[in-house]
């Protein structure tokens, strides 16, 4: 509505051409004289605001106006003697008379923050009017947090939003939990909605953090129910940067940082001297323990005969890591008139991994445009292509993460072996005598050749017509089109754990080329009516939508190559291929009514009905209603008016939300090809291989939320509190079946769970004025309990190996499950006294006889830790002094346990891996019993000690200084082309305070499957990043 009527008339004509537009800004800044008075100046927003843009400056009584830029500067032409009105959301308006002064500098006082606008489901609301539980984060406040994935910016920002970096693999680490784990294997990630499009598939990390203007985290049913069908894990709404009326700005951001792996938490394995000593003893014991007749007793290998010849040897963990750079450059141009709003961002992102030869590069572009051809019509077109190149960070035959992959493998490589040979070339292996084969993982990094290119086209278009005053009809078409192309080659030098030492025959070289195309298309149509009559305000909205996701996939693999020069299938001798397609669809109708009386009593009701292709024939539809209410008590007559407590609102909600995160087609029993040979001829066969469940239906969460919001001390202190209680029924997961049925599991609505918690948030402006200091603190407490579960009342924890969790009635979801380690059978007396396992011997590990049946076996395993944090918290402190600003973000969690499954290698006593230092204090004889915690090495007795037990379980409590950023803003008047420059330096993941001995206390290697939570399987380390950056506004 406000228009630059008086601005340079050349502007519209040049708008489309970037360079000229640029020029124009310079020209207009240079101050062409006009008939009327030109006033410039600066609007300051008080302490603590780095971004000073967005203050509207208008001539009272006239149409149009301007807004300030990031430095707070404005320039407006006005008749002499006119009154300028300065308004800014969240601040009290001010006026100033134009009376000949060249410059007007104003400081706005912060006003009722409850008037701030927040993006909510299908619209925006004033914070004051919201009756649900919603957390908002402005991207401006976290611009110094370097991020491969946008989630890295949300650390410690919203109570009840748990953000963890499960792994340090560039671009793949972040996972979220809103109010704890709501689902099981059905997926716990909140629904991510970008400008109205709910994303599908594994593409969250393709959303460019630089494009984002704000996040809204929707937590309770009142807030999420309009996305009801998929909202049981909460919703994160992302709004990308939009142009603003009356403001043309160009800004550039850049940073460059160096990432390295902190010393804390590195594996505490033996050095060369310690390991050779251990191995020498190991062979001595082998000869002593085994009464050899056949075969002849072994001799101690030459490698270990004289341990004193070795020093520290090779630190393989350090050898595979390096200091790696990361950098981003982005430019945004944004402009707006009464006809067009436009914002365009181009970004380049480049992150090398701390493992050699790994990294991610991304080129992304976003253009958001809104056209307003006539008063009542708005047409929008947002388009965002991005191209991401994943270099060696996608799973290949030799993975980075995971048990016995590169990180884990380097941890247990022999310190006696070396990275380079005497001629400076890579050695081929990293094991020494008697150990299991390990390649030189440093060399494997170097020859890795696994690349994935991702083309992502996220776009949406909308038409919004104001049919009559207050009635908007809106239709949108959103599309996310993704093309991924994956190419991997494993040549003659490739080797993994326990494979032949390279080089291997050319016949074994192999390559995989695969690609997939997916489309996620959403059409949404809404009618929205708002009206006011007297003290009543009413908003009514109704709509329907249809979404379809489809993906087709193809893969070719080839083996046998002429030489390593041809990495493509073209060169292979044997090829095989495969292709497939999958799809899901969702049809929904929804409605909402928001009502308020006197801006004091609020009532909101929503309903959504969804049908999904993923569910059984008669169970496709789910209905998800919610109701919420709010009461601003502080506006009541009886409430004492004071600045001490200026605002008090209570609110509550109850509603149903759903989840359909289960595989496609699980409702149907499916056959697959099962061929057999008759008389030498392969004959086509088909068998039912997947059991379907035609009764499968929506998982539904019933959530109650009660909240309170208050503002104290002249709005310097705000406080909010929420209590929630969520009961999830028909939880989607796999019911485990006895294999006598011919199947191992079936998709099933397996049970009922309860989750509850308390969330607090305090925002405080501790100091205002020359030195300002503000603090945001939030803390969430949560817990969960399994109330009912499909027979026999638990899932998981039945396997001897690689089965670390059990979800059982009466317990928390996904508790760790294993033996309780009670020490050793130190001597014959112990051996006679305590229950034994089939392979027990004097000096072997003694597990607790949990079921007290007098023997130790797999039935003696029990619950040994809760993987879900009981408390998560974050604290952000902002300081400013003159043009300096300092921002410190910390976050943490307590109450969860981590199982370091890599200990099955690092506590392996069979002489095949390098192992934890304390393994040297093992039991060797009754006279030499070690520290009483590490058993003997006698071959047939060692298995029990390396199955899941309490030795592997650690507290996951941590406090992390996530980000420290110190900035300085130059507001150089003499540089006429540049309005402001801010430079900053920051440290990310500055320090972890934790007792977890592993590298990453946030680890969770099965991040989206709560029934397998809390595992550290040898994760890609999380890095500390030191960086410098600049924000430049033109």
Partner 1 sequence: MQQKKYITILALAAAAFASCSKDHLTLYPEGQINGATFYKTATDFQEAVVGAYVPLREAALYSFYPEEMRSDNTEYDYNSKDRGGIGYEQIADFMDDKSNGITSSVWTADYKGIQRTNVILDRLEKISDSVAITPAVRNQTIGEAKALRAHYYFELVRLFGKLPLYLHETTDTKNAIVDHRSSIDSVYLQIISDFTDALALLPAVKFPQDGRWNKGSVSTELGLVYLTRKEYAKAIPLFESVTTMGYDLMTNYADVFKLNNKLSKESIFEIQYKAGTDGQSSSFIYRFMMYTPDTKGVLGVKYSNTSGGWNVPTDDVVAAYEPNDKRLDASVAVQKGHMNKDGDYIPDSVSSILTVVPNDTTIHKKMIRKQYQPSQGYGINNNTDDDWPVYRYSDLLLMLAECYNMTSRSGDALPLLNRVRDRAGLPPATETDPTALADIIAHERRVELAFENHRWFDLVRTDKAIPVMKAFGIAQKAKYGYLLPQSYDVNTNRLIFAIPFRETQYNPGLGQNDGY
Q: What's the closest the beta carbon of residue 355 comes to partner 1, in angstroms?
A: 24
Pick the binder of partner 1 from 612, 784, 988, 1009 (CB under 8 A).
612
Which of 136/608 has CB closer to partner 1?
608
Token readout for 77 is: 């032409």
Subset of 873-932 contacting partner 1 (CB under 8 A):
908, 910-912
Subset of 68-87 contacting partner 1 (CB under 8 A):
none
Q: What does each C-alpha distance from 64 to 56, 59, 77, 339, 723 come to in angstroms?
A: 10, 8, 11, 13, 45
- What are residue 934's DSSP bridge partners? 922
SS3 state of residue 519? strand
Note whether 832 binds partner 1 by CB under 8 A. no
Residue 589: CB atoms within 10 Å: 14
Query: What dihedral angle (degrees, nearest 10) is formed by the CA atoms of 467, 468, 470, 476?
Result: 0
Asked if 684 contacts 252 with a C-beta cutoff of 8 angstroms, the reply is no
The three-point CA angle 550-554-560 to 5° equals 165
Q: What's the closest the beta carbon of residue 819 comes to partner 1, in angstroms?
A: 12
Q: What does each C-alpha distance from 817 to 476, 811, 858, 861, 992 come to in angstroms?
A: 49, 12, 11, 6, 27
Token readout for 888 is: 């410190």
Which of 596, 600, 601 has its CA nearest to residue 538?
Answer: 596
* Contact characters 466-485, partner 1, x per CB under 8 A: -xx--x-x------------
Pick the binder of partner 1 from 280, 376, 504, 702 (CB under 8 A).
504
Pick the binder of partner 1 from 538, 566, 583, 713 (CB under 8 A).
583
Q: What's the closest the beta carbon of residue 605 comes to partner 1, in angstroms?
A: 20
Which of 467/1028 has CB closer to partner 1?
467
Subset of 617-656 contacting partner 1 (CB under 8 A):
617, 620
Q: What's the closest the beta carbon of residue 413 comes to partner 1, in angstroms?
A: 14
- Buried-exposed string 699-737: b where 16+ CB fall within 10 A, e elsewhere: bbbbbbbbbbbbbbeebbbbbbbbbbebebbbbbbbbbe
Note whether 742 binds partner 1 by CB under 8 A. yes
User: What whole-number distance in Å separates Cα of residue 751 and Cα of residue 452?
Assistant: 39
Pick the binder of partner 1 from 739, 852, 927, 974 (CB under 8 A).
739
Note whether 286 binds partner 1 by CB under 8 A. yes
Which of 649/861 has CB closer to partner 1?
861
Subset of 852-871 contacting partner 1 (CB under 8 A):
857-859
Which of 265, 168, 352 has its CA nearest to residue 1004?
Answer: 168
The dihedral through the CA atoms of 134, 137, 138, 139 has a sign that is: negative
Q: What's the closest the beta carbon of residue 437 comes to partner 1, in angstroms?
A: 6
> Which of the 8 DSSP states describes residue 401?
S
Note whether 738 binds partner 1 by CB under 8 A. yes
Subset of 927-946 contacting partner 1 (CB under 8 A):
938-943
Q: What's the closest the beta carbon of residue 590 comes to partner 1, in angstroms?
A: 12
Token readout for 374 is: 């006539």
Which of 606/693 has CB closer to partner 1?
693
Which of 565/791 has CB closer to partner 1?
791
Q: What's the closest the beta carbon of residue 1028 comes to partner 1, in angstroms?
A: 48
Which of 794/984 has CB closer to partner 1?
794
Q: What's the closest the beta carbon of residue 924 comes to partner 1, in angstroms?
A: 16
Asked if 982 contacts 1030 with a C-beta cutoff of 8 angstroms, the reply is yes
Q: What's the closest the beta carbon of residue 859 comes to partner 1, in angstroms?
A: 8
For the chain, the 3-state helix, strand and coil shares in percent, each to the nearest 5, are 15, 45, 40
DSSP E strands in 825-976: the ranges are: 845-847, 862-865, 871-881, 884-894, 897-900, 953-955, 958-970
Which of 219/431 has CB closer to partner 1?
431
Pick the binder of partner 1 from 463, 566, 737, 850 (CB under 8 A).
737
The dihedral through the CA atoms of 292, 296, 302, 306 has a sign that is: positive
Note whether 584 binds partner 1 by CB under 8 A. yes
- Residue 1023 CB-density burial (10 A; 0-12 exposed, 13-18 middle, 19+ buried): buried
SS3 state of residue 857? coil
User: What whole-number distance in Å separates Cα of residue 813 and Cα of residue 200?
Assistant: 25
Residue 283: CB atoms within 10 Å: 20
Q: Tell me the pairing of strands 134-138 and 212-218.
A: antiparallel
User: What whole-number distance in Å separates Cα of residue 540 and Cα of residue 558?
Assistant: 59
User: What whole-number distance in Å separates Cα of residue 568 and Cα of residue 939?
Assistant: 45
1019: CB partners within 8 A, 6+ apart:
166, 167, 168, 401, 407, 998, 999, 1000, 1003, 1005
Subset of 78-137 contacting partner 1 (CB under 8 A):
none
Pick the binder of partner 1 from 291, 375, 533, 882 (CB under 8 A).
291
Subset of 416-435 contacting partner 1 (CB under 8 A):
431-435
Q: What's the closest the beta carbon of residue 85 comes to partner 1, in angstroms?
A: 35
| Region near partner 1 per CB under 8 A, out of 311-319, 446-454, 742-750, 863-871 | 742-750
Asked if 615 contacts 666 with a C-beta cutoff of 8 angstroms, the reply is no
Subset of 292-321 contacting partner 1 (CB under 8 A):
292-295, 298, 301-302
Which of 644/798 has CB closer to partner 1?
798
Pick the binder of partner 1 from 60, 92, 290, 995 (CB under 8 A).
290
Pick the binder of partner 1 from 237, 541, 746, 934 (CB under 8 A).
746
Subset of 527-546 contacting partner 1 (CB under 8 A):
527, 544, 546
Which of 301/985 has CB closer to partner 1?
301
Subset of 545-564 contacting partner 1 (CB under 8 A):
546, 548, 559
- Residue 40's Cα: distance from chain center in Å? 44
Note whether 831 binds partner 1 by CB under 8 A. no
Q: What's the closest the beta carbon of residue 741 comes to partner 1, in angstroms?
A: 4
Pick the binder of partner 1 from 12, 799, 810, 932 (CB under 8 A).
799
User: What whole-number distance in Å separates Cα of residue 706 and Cα of residue 629?
Assistant: 10
Which of 670/1028 has CB closer to partner 1?
670
Pick the binder of partner 1 from 839, 877, 894, 925 (CB under 8 A).
839
Q: What's the closest the beta carbon of residue 684 comes to partner 1, in angstroms?
A: 6
Which of 102/296 has CB closer to partner 1?
296
Asked if 813 contacts 1011 with a C-beta cutoff of 8 angstroms, the reply is yes
Q: What's the closest the beta carbon of residue 690 comes to partner 1, in angstroms?
A: 8
Pick the binder of partner 1 from 31, 505, 562, 769 (CB under 8 A).
505
The dihedral through the CA atoms of 31, 32, 33, 34 has a sign that is: negative
* Contact characters 428-467, partner 1, x per CB under 8 A: ---xxxxxxx---------------------------x-x
Asked if 560 contacts 573 with a C-beta cutoff of 8 angstroms, the reply is yes
The three-point CA angle 409-410-414 to 5° equals 100
Note whether 988 binds partner 1 by CB under 8 A. no
User: What whole-number distance in Å separates Cα of residue 352 and Cα of residue 359?
Assistant: 4
Q: What's the closest the beta carbon of residue 787 comes to partner 1, in angstroms?
A: 19
**Count of chain residues binding partner 1 (CB under 8 A):** 116
Subset of 658-687 contacting partner 1 (CB under 8 A):
664-665, 668-672, 674-680, 682-687
């Amino acid at each position: 509505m406000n228009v630059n009527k008086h601005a340079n008339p050349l502007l519209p004509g040049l708008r489309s051409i970037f360079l000229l537009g640029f020029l124009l800004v310079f020209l207009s800044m240079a101050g062409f004289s006009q008939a009327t008075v030109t006033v410039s100046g600066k609007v300051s927003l008080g302490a603590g605001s780095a971004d000073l843009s967005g203050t509207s400056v208008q001539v009272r009584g006239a149409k149009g106006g301007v807004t300030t830029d990031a430095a707070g500067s404005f320039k407006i032409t006005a008749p002499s003697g006119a009154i300028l009105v300065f308004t800014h959301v969240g601040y009290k308006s001010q006026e100033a008379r134009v009376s000949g002064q060249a410059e007007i500098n104003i400081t706005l006082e912060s006003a009722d923050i409850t008037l701030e606008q927040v993006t909510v489901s299908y619209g925006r609301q004033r914070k004051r009017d919201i009756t649900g539980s919603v957390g908002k984060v402005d991207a401006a406040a976290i611009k110094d947090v370097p991020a491969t994935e946008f989630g890295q910016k949300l650390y410690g920002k919203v109570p009840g939003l748990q953000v963890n970096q499960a792994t340090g693999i560039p671009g793949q680490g972040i996972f979220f939990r809103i109010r704890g784990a709501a689902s099981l294997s059905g997926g716990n990630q909140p629904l991510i909605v970008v400008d109205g499009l709910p994303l599908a598939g594994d593409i969250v990390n393709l959303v460019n953090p630089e494009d984002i203007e704000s996040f809204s985290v929707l937590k309770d049913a009142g807030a999420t129910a309009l996305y009801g069908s998929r909202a049981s894990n909460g919703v994160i709404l992302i709004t990308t940067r939009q142009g603003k009326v009356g403001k043309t700005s160009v800004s550039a951001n850049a940073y460059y940082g160096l990432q390295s792996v902190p010393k804390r938490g590195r594996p505490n394995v033996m050095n060369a001297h310690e390991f050779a000593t251990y191995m020498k003893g190991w062979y001595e014991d082998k000869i002593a323990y085994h009464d050899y007749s056949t075969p002849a007793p072994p001799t101690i290998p030459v490698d270990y005969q004289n341990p004193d010849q070795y020093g520290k040897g090779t630190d393989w963990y350090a050898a595979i890591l390096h200091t790696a750079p990361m950098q981003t450059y982005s430019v945004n141009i944004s402009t707006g008139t009464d006809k067009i709003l436009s914002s365009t961002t181009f970004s380049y992102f480049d992150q090398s991994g701390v493992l050699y030869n790994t990294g991610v590069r991304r080129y992304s572009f976003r253009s958001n445009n809104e056209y307003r051809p006539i008063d009542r019509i708005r047409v929008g077109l947002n388009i965002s292509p991005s191209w991401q190149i994943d270099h060696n960070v996608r799973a290949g035959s030799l993975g980075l993460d995971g048990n016995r992959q590169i990180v884990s493998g380097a941890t247990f490589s022999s310190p006696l072996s070396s990275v380079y040979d005497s001629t400076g070339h890579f050695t081929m292996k990293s094991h020494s005598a008697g150990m299991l084969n390990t390649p030189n993982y440093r060399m494997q990094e170097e020859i890795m050749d696994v690349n994935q290119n991702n083309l992502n086209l996220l776009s949406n278009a909308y038409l919004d017509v104001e049919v009559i005053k207050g009635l908007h009809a809106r239709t949108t078409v959103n599309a996310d089109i993704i093309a991924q192309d994956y190419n991997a080659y494993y040549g003659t030098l490739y080797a993994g754990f326990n494979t032949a030492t390279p080089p291997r025959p050319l016949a074994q070289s192999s390559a995989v080329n695969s690609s997939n195309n997916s489309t996620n298309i959403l059409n949404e149509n809404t009618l929205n009516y708002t009206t006011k009559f007297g003290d009543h305000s009413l908003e009514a909205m109704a709509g329907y939508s249809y979404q379809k996701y489809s993906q087709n996939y193809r893969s070719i693999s080839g083996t046998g190559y002429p030489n390593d020069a041809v990495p493509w299938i073209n060169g292979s001798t044997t090829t095989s291929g495969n292709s497939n397609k999958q799809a899901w669809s969702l049809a929904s109708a929804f409605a909402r009514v928001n009502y308020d009386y006197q801006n004091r009593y609020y009532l909101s009701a929503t309903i959504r009905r969804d049908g999904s292709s993923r569910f059984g024939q008669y169970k496709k539809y789910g209905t998800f209603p919610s109701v919420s209410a709010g009461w601003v008590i502080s506006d009541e007559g009886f409430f004492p008016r004071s600045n001490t407590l200026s605002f008090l609102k209570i609110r509550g909600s109850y509603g149903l939300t759903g989840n359909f995160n289960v595989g496609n087609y699980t409702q149907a029993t499916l056959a697959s090809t099962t061929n057999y040979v008759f008389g030498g001829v392969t004959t086509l066969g088909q068998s039912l291989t997947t059991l379907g469940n035609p009764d499968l239906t929506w998982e539904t969460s019933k959530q109650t939320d009660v909240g309170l919001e208050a503002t104290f001390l002249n709005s310097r202190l705000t406080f909010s509190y929420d209590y929630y209680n969520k009961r999830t029924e028909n939880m989607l997961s796999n019911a485990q079946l006895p294999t006598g049925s011919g199947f191992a599991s079936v998709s099933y609505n397996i049970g009922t769970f309860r989750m509850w918690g308390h969330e607090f948030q305090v925002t405080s402006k501790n100091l205002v004025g020359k030195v300002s200091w503000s603090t945001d603190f939030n803390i969430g407490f949560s817990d969960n309990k399994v109330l009912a579960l499909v027979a026999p009342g638990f899932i998981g924890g039945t396997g001897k190996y690689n089965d670390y969790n059990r979800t059982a009635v009466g317990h928390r979801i996904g508790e760790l499950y294993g033996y309780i380690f009670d020490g050793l059978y130190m001597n014959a007396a112990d051996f006679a006294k305590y229950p034994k396992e089939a392979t027990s011997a004097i000096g072997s590990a003694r597990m607790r006889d949990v079921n007290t049946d007098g023997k130790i076996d797999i039935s003696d395993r029990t619950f040994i830790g809760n993987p879900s944090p009981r408390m998560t918290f974050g604290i952000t402190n902002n300081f400013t002094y003159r043009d300096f600003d300092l921002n410190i973000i910390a976050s943490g969690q307590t109450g969860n346990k981590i199982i370091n499954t890599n200990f099955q290698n690092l506590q392996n006593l069979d002489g095949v891996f390098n192992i934890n230092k304390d393994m040297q204090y093992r039991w060797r004889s009754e006279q030499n019993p070690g520290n009483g915690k590490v058993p003997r090495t006698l071959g047939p007795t060692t298995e029990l000690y390396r199955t899941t037990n309490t030795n592997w379980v650690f507290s996951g409590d941590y406090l992390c200084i996530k980000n420290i950023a110190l900035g300085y803003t130059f507001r150089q008047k003499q540089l006429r082309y540049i309005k402001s420059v801010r430079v900053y330096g920051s440290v990310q993941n500055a320090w972890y305070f934790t007792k977890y001995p592993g590298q990453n206390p946030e680890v969770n290697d099965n991040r989206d499957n709560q029934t397998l939570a809390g595992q550290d399987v040898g994760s890609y380390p999380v890095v500390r990043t030191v960086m410098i950056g600049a924000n430049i506004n033109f």
